[in-house]
Structure 1
Amino acid sequence: MRISFAVKLGVLMIVLMTALVGSILIYFYQYSVATLNNDLKQAIGDVTRTASFVFKEEEREQIMQLRNKLNSTLSDDFALKVRSFSQLEEGSTELLLSQEQSKALEGTLDFQYLVQLLRRIQEGSRNRVNALGLLPQTNILATNASRAAWAYLLVRVPNTQAKDALMFLADSNYQKDDFSTEGNPIGNMYRPPAFFTAPFTQGVMGIADNWYTDEFGTVMTALVPIKAENGEVIAVLGIDYDVASFQNRIEKQKQISWSVFGVSLIVALTIALVIAGWISLPLSKLRSGAEQLSRQDFAYRVRIKSHDEFGVLANTFNQVSEKLGQFTSNLEAIVDERTAQLTKANEKVIELNKRLSEENEYLGAEVDNLLELRKKYMPYINSRVKIGEFELSLNYLPSRNIAGDFWQILPQGQLQPALYFGQVSGGGLETASLTLQLQSLLQYQIGDTQDKLAASNHMVLQQSKILNCDFLVKMLAIEFDNHNLKIVGQCQDPILFNKKRCTEISITQDNFVLGLNHHLDLKAIDCTPQLDDVLLVYSSGFRQALLKLSNHKQDFATCSDLIAASGLQQHSSQELLEKFRSEIWFNDFPSDISFIQIKRINV
């Protein structure tokens, strides 16, 4: 079942207002009750303390004398009775003396005098004070009854803790009557609540936390210790005050609070209904408009004349409906126009794809031609050649991106030939063009190794200036002299290895990069391989291809890791080339894969 927003809002407002008013009333009711209760306790405490001063030094002597008589009258087995009595619930009473013993003590002058003092305390709490005289026992339910319903004196039971049992020494209403059929004779034991023990144990006033109601009425109890001159608590004065009128005031306040709460609830309900009505009407109109819009009735208009948010929302809704109607009426024409535009654009895309396909075929052929041209200028590709005491295995896999690896062996047939190995950074036609020019220069330049490297550096500088492009070219030269090798230049550090060991030859020179400046600082490094040692010269593309082949996430930590990944200690270079060709990433690999193995052989 769907419930309208207005109903939900009304229920929410009623709940919130009811909760707010109820919380405030509960707070103030509890605060008022607590304040009144504290004030009542303060007043009763003050009156009880004042009443305790009715007992002057002579009366306190009488209290001690009567207490001593009571203690001496107790039977020898009273301790057993007290022990059994202490297990009863609080508020219980039990006679510790026989009726004859109680009557005898109640007939003494000390007892009767104390009872008269207690009745005078009662008499002073009446609304209308009577003349003093010998005061009889009064009924608390009688007209003009005293507010002090009971006044009594309590003493300790010998050898007993105050929390277990106390004894009544005197009571203003000790006699039996129509109201109290049992009476409260002297020696009557009492199982006290906790606050009764403070006057005996600590010598301070004790007062109940709250009033209580029993068959005798609603009262609140206060107790004040009566002390001898040496500070000993000889008895405790207890007064039970009638607080029925105070309780009636609290009940009346509670009724008033409930009445206020009921009125507030009615007011909240009325306000909620009025507000819900104000909101429900425009919302129902907007809902009707939304339903008509969902049925594609764009001519429907929401009629709300107010200038508030509902009016703004209605005007906006009507504007949207009007624009949707206009758009829908012109939709077919717009669709036809868009279809024609898309058809024409599609024809242009087909024509452009055709041209791109033709150009790709042409460029593919040009790339193939360029790769073949580069291979022509690189001697001994994927083959072996002997130079003096060394056998060279030259291996090369070109990239379709036209990268820049190259080598040249010069001069052929001489006593001290040299191997030139290098790479031009980047890719594309400019890289391929510079690579071919360097290969041609190395082949036809007259002079020694230093002359050829200097000429190469000059060419790179000129090409960078002409093409306005910074080329990064690294090249090293290896001269063969009997069983010695002299390495000059910079590229990847060569690795000298055999089946048991592996050593990297550091040739890094910070100032030897072709094309940076006209000055070259050429330093040669001598290397004398042993029989069956292999010197590996390779490009950065070879290193990157090995990383992909061996699934390394980071660069090789040592040269041993690189040689182990290549497998060249156990397998041939042709097997390694076949592994590269079989990988799915090979056709899209961006760099040339070049490496040369120079092995010293026994001639």
Structure 2
Amino acid sequence: MKVSFAVKLGILMIVLMTALVGSILVYFYQYSLQTLHNDLKQSIGDVTRTSAFIFKEEERDIIHSLKQQLHDELSENYLEAVNQFSLLEEGSTELLLTEQQSQNLHNTLDFQYIVQLLRRVQEGSRNRIRSLQLLPQTNVLDDNPSRAAWAYLMVKVPNVAPEQALIFLADSNYEKDNFSEGGNPIGNLYKAPAFFTLPFKGQIGVADNWYTDEFGTVLTAVVPIKSENGEVIAILGIDYDVGAFQDRIEKQKRISWTAFAVSLALAFIITGIITTWVSIPLTKLKSGAEQLSKQDFNHRVIIKSNDEFGVLANTLNQVSQTLGEFTSDLEAIVAERTAQLTKANEKVQQLNSMLSAENKHLGAEVDNLLVLRQKFMPHINSQLRIGDYELSLNHLASRSVAGDFWQIVTDKEGQKLLFFGQVSGGGLETASLTLQIQSLLQYQSGNIESRLRGVNQMVVEQSKLLKSQFLVKLQAIQFEKEQLKVWGQCEDPILFNQGSVKEIELYPDNFVLGINNKIELKDHLIKLQSDTHLLLYSSGFRQALLKLTNRSQDFKNGLELIQASELRNKTAQQLLEQFGEQPWFSDFASDISFLSIRRLS
């Protein structure tokens, strides 16, 4: 399903605007909430700190006296009860005294006096101040409730850390009533939150957040009450009703959500306007492009604006007009070009006829030349025995008329000499030079070195005469009992049998013929064991093996070449037939020649 660009643009704009507006509203809501919360905590802390100073020196002495009376009422095993209580969850309460003990302390003048002071703290936070009198216990659900829902004094339990438990000394709402069924009597243990321990370190403690129960939503602050010597004799705690503040927070949240909804609606409206503004010209441009692809060059895109869409429409119209004008004259152009191509084709056919005739003539000449060359290569593709040695001479000629050759002659002492080599290049000149070398080797007298120097002299003179550099690689082999003497250079010969392969390096002591008139020759003695072969081969044989085995890199050594040829397992004739059957051989530029010399058992 394809989605248009206008829809994609609209979705992108809605997502971006929603994310932007939402992020801004969330940030300002969280910032405002945190700021209001911090200000509220600061204000409640200040009010609680100020309320602590309602207790003057005399009242603090009374607090100390009441605290001592509470301690005197504790049983001998109170520590066990406190240790068990410290295991309870935070906010738990449990009466450490008996009800009678608590009632007796409630009836004391010191307790009632402290309770009246705590109720005065409550009274001062009402919206409507009442007359000064003995104050009864109030209810947070009254019509004119106190903002300070609870005011109380707490002290440490003797020999017990504040973190384990605190004990109530007095509470403004200590009595049982419909609002507080259990009341909060003196001697009530309390598992306080962590901030309740701060006043014992001389600091004010304020809860991190308010909590809500069936009586309302309050935020607690506690401050220390110290004696003249700086000892913390009690802590004053006040639970402030922050329900109105919470309502303001909820109202602010509703306003934020309303603003977000309005912004989202505006985003949809603006997106719809922009999408419409973009989609109309895009639709026209799309229609124009489709008509152009259908070769309707009379269609025009009508966009009257001067913006990018207008420029695109004018460009598309110009292209349509240009293509229409071009196609109107296309038939005439095609007819003219067809006539020209017809004449050119006729000329090409005439040339092809001429070339075919020439090729037949040249093909016949090449065939005659190849036959002539094979007549000058004795014992071609056959075997010959010379003394204790058996020779296999194998050759596959290239249609490109390359320069592989060999010659077998008899010297004046009646010994057989074998010459094997190749002339660089290809064609008639290479074939002519090859025949001259074979003739010179056959009819020239003298030893091997003189014959090689004679060939070198002739190649140098032919190069000067024809103004073309000819290079000849030529090896000469003299057969002796149990060893062969080798002169000259071609591809390095390889000794092999069923168990081993050895490549013989000749290059350092012999050079290519035809470079200059002076050459230095050195013979190499090669001992040939029984049933061991000496392989002589041309560069064309190596290249053909590479193509036959689909190798992209040359052979690293003689062992790889022998393995590729499989000459230890197949005959030379089988290998030649395999070369000739390859589809690439008809265009192969080099002759394929290799000679195998085996010493008989």
TM-score range normalised by the length of the shorter chain: 0.7 to 0.9
Answer yes or no: is the 8 Å Cα contact 2:91–2:190 preserved in 1. Answer: yes
**What secondary structure does 1:509 align onto?**
helix
CA displacement at 1:131 relative to structure 2: 8.7
Q: Where does residue 35 of structure 1 map in the other structure? A: 35
Name the CA shift for 1:179/1:569 in 2 (closer, same or farther; >3 Å).
closer
Q: Where does residue 316 of structure 1 map in the other structure? A: 315
Alpha-carbon displacement from aligned partner over 1:25-56 (angstroms, at most 9, x marks no partner): 11111111112212322333344345445556
Unaligned runs of 5+ in 1: none
**What secondary structure does 2:518 align onto?**
coil
Q: Where does residue 149 of structure 2 map in the other structure? A: 149
Q: Where does residue 393 of structure 1 map in the other structure? A: 392
CA displacement at 1:360 relative to structure 2: 3.4
Q: Where does residue 20 of structure 1 map in the other structure? A: 20
Question: Which residue identity does 1:26 align to in structure 2?
Answer: V
Answer yes or no: is the 8 Å Cα contact 1:542–1:592 preserved in 2. Answer: yes
* Distance (Å, rounded) in 2 between the aligned partners of 1:160 and 1:322: 100
CA displacement at 1:20 relative to structure 2: 1.4
Q: Where does residue 450 of structure 1 map in the other structure? A: 449
Answer yes or no: is the 8 Å Cα contact 1:490–1:509 preserved in 2. Answer: no
Q: Where does residue 109 of structure 1 map in the other structure? A: 109
**What secondary structure does 1:24 align onto?**
helix
CA displacement at 1:247 relative to structure 2: 2.8
**What secondary structure does 2:507 align onto?**
coil
Answer yes or no: is the 8 Å Cα contact 1:195–1:206 preserved in 2. Answer: yes
Answer yes or no: is the 8 Å Cα contact 1:151–1:239 preserved in 2. Answer: yes
CA displacement at 1:312 relative to structure 2: 0.4
Answer yes or no: is the 8 Å Cα contact 1:168–1:188 preserved in 2. Answer: yes
* Distance (Å, rounded) in 1 between the aligned partners of 2:432 and 2:208: 107
Q: Where does residue 45 of structure 2 map in the other structure? A: 45
* Distance (Å, rounded) in 2 between the aligned partners of 1:507 and 1:292: 77
Q: Which moved more, 1:73-82 or 1:203-212?
A: 73-82
CA displacement at 1:520 relative to structure 2: 1.2
- 1:56-67 matches, cutoff 5 A: 62-67=62-67
Question: Which residue identity does 1:17 align to in structure 2?
Answer: M
* Distance (Å, rounded) in 2 between the aligned partners of 1:343 and 1:230: 126
Answer yes or no: is the 8 Å Cα contact 2:157–2:167 preserved in 1. Answer: yes
* Distance (Å, rounded) in 2 between the aligned partners of 1:498 and 1:256: 101
Equivalent pairs counted in the alignment come to 601
Question: Which residue identity does 1:366 align to in structure 2?
Answer: E
Name the CA shift for 1:180/1:324 in 2 (closer, same or farther; >3 Å).
same
Question: Which residue identity does 1:206 align to in structure 2?
Answer: G
- 1:334-345 matches, cutoff 5 A: 334-345=333-344
**What secondary structure does 2:392 align onto?**
strand
Name the CA shift for 1:355/1:79 in 2 (closer, same or farther; >3 Å).
farther
Unaligned runs of 5+ in 2: none
CA displacement at 1:170 relative to structure 2: 0.7
Name the CA shift for 1:233/1:490 in 2 (closer, same or farther; >3 Å).
farther
CA displacement at 1:218 relative to structure 2: 2.7
Are 2:183 and 1:188 equivalent residues in the alignment? no
CA displacement at 1:300 relative to structure 2: 3.4
* Distance (Å, rounded) in 2 between the aligned partners of 1:223 and 1:555: 94
CA displacement at 1:62 relative to structure 2: 4.2
Question: Which residue identity does 2:274 align to in structure 1?
Answer: I
- 1:256-275 matches, cutoff 5 A: 256-275=255-274
Answer yes or no: is the 8 Å Cα contact 1:224–1:237 preserved in 2. Answer: yes
**What secondary structure does 2:595 align onto?**
strand
Q: Where does residue 239 of structure 1 map in the other structure? A: 238
CA displacement at 1:396 relative to structure 2: 1.8
Q: Where does residue 383 of structure 1 map in the other structure? A: 382
Question: Which residue identity does 1:507 align to in structure 2?
Answer: L
CA displacement at 1:392 relative to structure 2: 3.5
Q: Where does residue 423 of structure 2 map in the other structure? A: 424
Q: Where does residue 405 of structure 2 map in the other structure? A: 406
CA displacement at 1:408 relative to structure 2: 1.8
CA displacement at 1:309 relative to structure 2: 0.5
Answer yes or no: is the 8 Å Cα contact 2:377–2:407 preserved in 1. Answer: yes
Q: Where does residue 539 of structure 2 map in the other structure? A: 540
Q: Which moved more, 1:162-171 or 1:226-235?
A: 226-235
Q: Where does residue 173 of structure 2 map in the other structure? A: 173
Q: Where does residue 508 of structure 1 map in the other structure? A: 507
Name the CA shift for 1:470/1:58 in 2 (closer, same or farther; >3 Å).
farther
* Distance (Å, rounded) in 1 between the aligned partners of 2:323 and 2:196: 87
* Distance (Å, rounded) in 1 between the aligned partners of 2:499 and 2:331: 82
CA displacement at 1:359 relative to structure 2: 3.7
Q: Where does residue 435 of structure 2 map in the other structure? A: 436
The RMSD of aligned alpha carbons is 4.2
Q: Where does residue 522 of structure 1 map in the other structure? A: 521
* Distance (Å, rounded) in 2 between the aligned partners of 1:506 and 1:59: 122
- 1:440-519 matches, cutoff 5 A: 440-480=439-479, 485-497=484-496, 503-509=502-508, 512-519=511-518
Answer yes or no: is the 8 Å Cα contact 2:509–2:521 preserved in 1. Answer: no
Name the CA shift for 1:325/1:553 in 2 (closer, same or farther; >3 Å).
closer
**What secondary structure does 1:306 align onto?**
coil
**What secondary structure does 1:150 align onto?**
strand
Name the CA shift for 1:28/1:594 in 2 (closer, same or farther; >3 Å).
same
**What secondary structure does 1:418 align onto?**
strand
Question: Which residue identity does 1:491 align to in structure 2?
Answer: C
**What secondary structure does 1:520 align onto?**
coil
CA displacement at 1:585 relative to structure 2: 5.0
Q: Where does residue 300 of structure 2 map in the other structure? A: 301
* Distance (Å, rounded) in 2 between the aligned partners of 1:569 and 1:7: 76
**What secondary structure does 2:184 align onto?**
coil
* Distance (Å, rounded) in 1 between the aligned partners of 2:256 and 2:497: 104
Q: Which moved more, 1:496-505 or 1:323-332?
A: 496-505
Question: Which residue identity does 1:31 align to in structure 2?
Answer: Y
Question: Which residue identity does 1:316 align to in structure 2?
Answer: T
* Distance (Å, rounded) in 2 between the aligned partners of 1:126 and 1:592: 121
* Distance (Å, rounded) in 2 between the aligned partners of 1:573 and 1:178: 122
- 1:177-216 matches, cutoff 5 A: 180=180, 183-193=183-193, 195-196=195-196, 205-216=204-215
Answer yes or no: is the 8 Å Cα contact 1:531–1:600 preserved in 2. Answer: yes
- 1:550-561 matches, cutoff 5 A: 559=558
* Distance (Å, rounded) in 2 between the aligned partners of 1:238 and 1:128: 23
Are 2:364 and 1:371 equivalent residues in the alignment? no
CA displacement at 1:381 relative to structure 2: 1.6
Name the CA shift for 1:562/1:181 in 2 (closer, same or farther; >3 Å).
closer
Name the CA shift for 1:171/1:521 in 2 (closer, same or farther; >3 Å).
same
* Distance (Å, rounded) in 1 between the aligned partners of 2:99 and 2:546: 115
Alpha-carbon displacement from aligned partner over 1:504-528 (angstroms, at most 9, x marks no partner): 4332226612233333121122345
Q: Which moved more, 1:92-101 or 1:451-460?
A: 92-101
* Distance (Å, rounded) in 2 between the aligned partners of 1:533 and 1:296: 79
CA displacement at 1:553 relative to structure 2: 6.7
Q: Which moved more, 1:181-190 or 1:165-174?
A: 181-190
Q: Which moved more, 1:137-146 or 1:253-262?
A: 137-146
* Distance (Å, rounded) in 2 between the aligned partners of 1:538 and 1:584: 22
CA displacement at 1:470 relative to structure 2: 4.0
* Distance (Å, rounded) in 1 between the aligned partners of 2:430 and 2:124: 124
Q: Which moved more, 1:88-97 or 1:401-410?
A: 88-97
* Distance (Å, rounded) in 1 between the aligned partners of 2:406 and 2:348: 44
Question: Which residue identity does 1:21 align to in structure 2?
Answer: V
Alpha-carbon displacement from aligned partner over 1:553-591 (angstroms, at most 9, x marks no partner): 765555455556555557654454445445555544443
Question: Which residue identity does 1:25 align to in structure 2?
Answer: L
**What secondary structure does 2:508 align onto?**
coil
Answer yes or no: is the 8 Å Cα contact 2:152–2:238 preserved in 1. Answer: yes
Answer yes or no: is the 8 Å Cα contact 2:489–2:510 preserved in 1. Answer: no
* Distance (Å, rounded) in 1 between the aligned partners of 2:476 and 2:246: 116
Question: Which residue identity does 2:25 align to in structure 1?
Answer: L
Name the CA shift for 1:366/1:198 in 2 (closer, same or farther; >3 Å).
farther
